[in-house]
Amino acid sequence: MTPQIPPDPLAPTPAPASESPAARQALLRQIRAVRAHTLQRVATLSAEDMALQSMADASPTKWHLAHTTWFFEALVLCPHQPGYQPVDARYFKLFNSYYESLGPRHPRPQRGLLSRPSLDEVRAYRNAVDQALARFIEQADDDSWAAAAPLLLLGLHHEQQHQELLLTDIAHALSLNPLRPACLADEPAAGAGLHGGGGAEWIELPHGEIGIGHAGTGFSFDNETPAHRVQLQACAVARALVSNRDYAAFIADGGYRRPELWLSDGWAAVQSLGWQAPLYWALDERGAPSHQFTLYGERPWRADEPVCHLSFYEAAAYAEWAGARLPTEFEWEAAARLAGGAHAGAEPGDGPIDPQPRAASLDAAGRRDPQFFGAVWQWTRSSYDPYPRFRPMAGAVGEYNGKFMVGQLVLRGSSCATPRGHARPSYRNFFPPTARWQFSGLRLARDL
């Protein structure tokens, strides 16, 4: 039986979608670029690699390829293309992530059991939906286009999120393989003039009212809105990310053995999970870091790279040890807007894949790149809550962000695995406080 999916309107961004053929072709080019970039990211993986699910919080690469395709089919083609027939109606259960309003779902912890459909069948699914999307974009009447264009744009950014997730998920899976295999070969050499984070440079923010959130005509997720104003106390946010060297000093000073540095739940996690260092670090017999597992395989630990694969609890404990604190998400956004540096002009799919945080470079004036974007996501001290007057979007896409606004912490910025063109100062990422497999690090803040 063909699933019946009701029309699913998405509140558009302030600029109405253009119905001109040129605007349609521009969006189609972007979607094709993003879809091709997804396949580029998995080009080195085998079919066996793509079937791995190493924990309930991660998904197989093959599932990511199918789910991002399901998103376009379920939310665009089925409700807005008259007479459209799904490629395989059974996929609606297999590749639905968490959209309760769209029907039953295969259990998340069991995605690794989906040996069928095969990888070839998933690739054929992507191709069929890509062709159907192209026909729809080129031929849809004005009413269908007006309803579907915001959903197409959401699907594009949704796929970029999964481009990052599929790398973090396969890194976790390969890290558990005793061969410590590389996902990517030929790691770039460190460039000239690179040096590490840390240092005493601060971005000072005066007491006062500032604007927060997304405003304007560009794309944003609903959780970045509505734009509003908040009151800041005078504070300072570090220009530099905390480096591996900085964090190693915390370990050497007994950071993982000192309960006074930790939040209660964090100390319980240290005890129950046996944390002694960031995820993927190997310590030598003296307890000092020696090696680190990366998507380039296991290689020597590098002191000057930004520390990553930290939980919120580890980030908060380090900040306590350093005599500082984590910034709130509002302090972070204010400092990031002052510092600049997002890939604002990049097209989706642009740029090489180098999913490893690199030491900060120096500009012509000798100032360190503050790395608000493109290195590691940065934990903040803010709970993931709705902004004032927030309302979820209508229909199934209302489940995209709003229902997760409890029990999570906000991360800001972007990481080395974030696709170019996907970062902006108002972006709000979120994870539970114990999550460590993402490219998550920190920068410090302090009161003035």
> Is residue 187 one of the residues assigned to a domain?
no
| CATH code of the domain covering residue 147 | 1.20.120
Q: Which of 63, 43, 44 is nearest to 53 (CA)?
A: 63
> Is residue 4 one of the residues assigned to a domain?
no
Q: Are residues 234 and 361 in the same domain?
A: yes
Q: Are residues 209 and 350 in the same domain?
A: yes
Q: Are residues 162 and 110 in the same domain?
A: yes
| CATH code of the domain covering residue 328 | 3.90.1580.10
> Is residue 182 one of the residues assigned to a domain?
no
> Is residue 98 one of the residues assigned to a domain?
yes
> Is residue 43 one of the residues assigned to a domain?
yes
Non-local CB neighbours of 319 within 8 Å, separated by 6+ positions: 325, 326, 442, 444, 445
The pLDDT score that the predictor gives to residue 354 is 93
The pLDDT score that the predictor gives to residue 399 is 78
Out of 156, 175, 194, a domain closes at 175
Burial 296-332 (b: 16+ CB within 10 A, else e): bbbeebbebbbbbbbbbbbbbbbbbbbebbbbbbbbb
3-state secondary structure labels for all residues of the chain: CCCCCCCCCCCCCCCCCCCCHHHHHHHHHHHHHHHHHHHHHCCCCCCCHHHCCCCCCCCCHHHHHHHHHHHHHHHHHHHHCCCCCCCCCCHHHHCCCCCHHHCCCCCHHHHHHCCCCCHHHHHHHHHHHHHHHHHHHHHCCHHHHHHHHHHHHHHHHHHHHHHHHHHHHHHHHHHCCCCCCCCCCCCCCCCCCCECCCCCCEEEECCEEEEECCCCCCCCCHHHCCCEEEEECCEEEECCCCEHHHHHHHHHCCHHHCHHHCCHHHHHHHHHHCCCCCCCEEECCCCCEEEEEECCEEEECCCCCECCCCCHHHHHHHHHHCCCECCCHHHHHHHHHHHCCCCCCCCCCCCCCCCCCCCECECCCCCECCCCCCECEEEEEEECCCCCCCCCCCCHHHHCCHHHCCCCEEEECCECCCCCCCCCCCCCEEECCCCCCCCEECCCEEEC
Q: Are residues 227 and 376 in the same domain?
A: yes
Q: Are residues 403 and 443 in the same domain?
A: yes
> Is residue 431 one of the residues assigned to a domain?
yes
The residue range of the domain holding 133 is: 21-175
Q: Are residues 266 and 370 in the same domain?
A: yes
pLDDT averages per 10-residue partition of the chain, 448 residues: 29 49 94 96 97 98 98 97 96 95 94 98 98 97 94 96 97 97 88 49 96 91 95 97 98 98 98 98 96 97 97 98 98 94 58 88 81 97 96 82 91 96 94 98 97
> Is residue 86 one of the residues assigned to a domain?
yes
> Is residue 181 one of the residues assigned to a domain?
no
Q: Are residues 217 and 107 in the same domain?
A: no
Q: Are residues 212 and 158 in the same domain?
A: no
Q: Are residues 134 and 274 in the same domain?
A: no
The pLDDT score that the predictor gives to residue 196 is 46
**What is the reported pTM?**
0.92
Q: Are residues 128 and 226 in the same domain?
A: no
The pLDDT score that the predictor gives to residue 20 is 86
Q: Are residues 146 and 293 in the same domain?
A: no
How many folded domains does the chain comprise? 2
Q: Are residues 161 and 227 in the same domain?
A: no
The pLDDT score that the predictor gives to residue 189 is 80
